[in-house]
């Protein structure tokens, strides 16, 4: 199984500027750590620090084509085969068990879709990489559902709490508390002191 994680350190524009980069890198580390526990991992990024974090945890790093999240995911899926998961880098609560649950629908030939609270898409489970289309943006979860239907594939909308709980705002960070991954918790602990 392959997990693709697109990463841009400057993507968290609603977080305070002084925290944005450190929080993004901590969350990336937590997501990669959860993924490498049970899968091959490709992180797609143009960020040198993101590259270092991903490589230090055993992920393969691929160059971001710099044409948005959809293009980054497509690059990560290139030459892949079989079940693939796509997981955003701002999910610091993710655990290996969450990824195992996300992999169940694609192993049954279905598409798994995890929507964020705002209707965007936090994670996808694909039975094969050719299913992917770059449909990200506002309302993207519904577009991924419609796409699966056009392909005559069954789909499951998964409400996995650790994959639904993304971090876009300071309020999202506050909600994490002790439930974030080790890197994000450590960073938040250092900020509070």
Give me the sheet containing 2-7, strands edge to edge: 60-63, 40-45, 2-7, 84-87, 121-126, 111-115, 155-157
CA distance 154 to 101: 16
Q: What is the three-class DSSP state of 54? A: helix
pLDDT in tens, 60-81: 999 999 999 999 999 999 999 9
CATH number at residue 109: 3.90.550.10
pLDDT in tens, 80-121: 999 999 999 999 999 999 999 999 999 999 999 999 999 999
Predicted pLDDT of residue 193: 46
18 alpha carbon, distance to own chain's centre: 23
Predicted pLDDT of residue 192: 56
When divided into structural domains, the chain yields a total of: 1
**Hey, what are 84's tokens?**
């693939």
- Rounded mean pLDDT of 38-46? 96
pLDDT at 17 over 90: no
Domain of residue 187: give its range: 2-192
More confident residue, 185 or 193: 185
Least confident of 14-23, 44-53, 141-150: 14-23
Q: Let me know: does 25 contact 175? Beta carbons within 8 Å.
A: no
Q: Which H helix or E strand runs over 87? A: strand 84-87
More confident residue, 175 or 143: 143
């Amino acid at each position: 199984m392959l997990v693709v994680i697109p990463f841009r350190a400057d993507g968290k524009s609603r977080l305070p500027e002084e925290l944005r980069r450190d929080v993004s890198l901590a969350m990336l580390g937590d997501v990669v750590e959860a993924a490498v526990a049970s899968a091959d991992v490709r992180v797609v990024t143009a960020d040198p620090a993101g590259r270092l974090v991903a490589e230090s945890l055993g992920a393969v790093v691929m160059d971001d084509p710099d044409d948005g999240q959809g293009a980054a995911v497509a690059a990560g899926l290139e030459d892949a085969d079989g079940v693939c998961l796509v997981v955003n880098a701002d999910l610091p609560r993710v655990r290996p068990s969450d990824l195992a649950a996300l992999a169940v629908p694609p192993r049954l030939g279905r598409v798994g879709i995890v929507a964020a609270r705002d209707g965007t898409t936090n994670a996808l489970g694909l039975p094969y990489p050719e299913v992917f289309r770059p449909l990200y943006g506002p309302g993207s979860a519904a577009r991924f559902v419609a796409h699966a239907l056009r392909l005559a594939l069954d789909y499951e909308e998964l409400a996995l709490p650790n994959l639904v709980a993304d971090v876009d705002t300071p309020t999202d960070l506050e909600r994490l508390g002790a439930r974030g991954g080790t890197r994000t918790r450590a960073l938040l602990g250092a900020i509070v002191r």
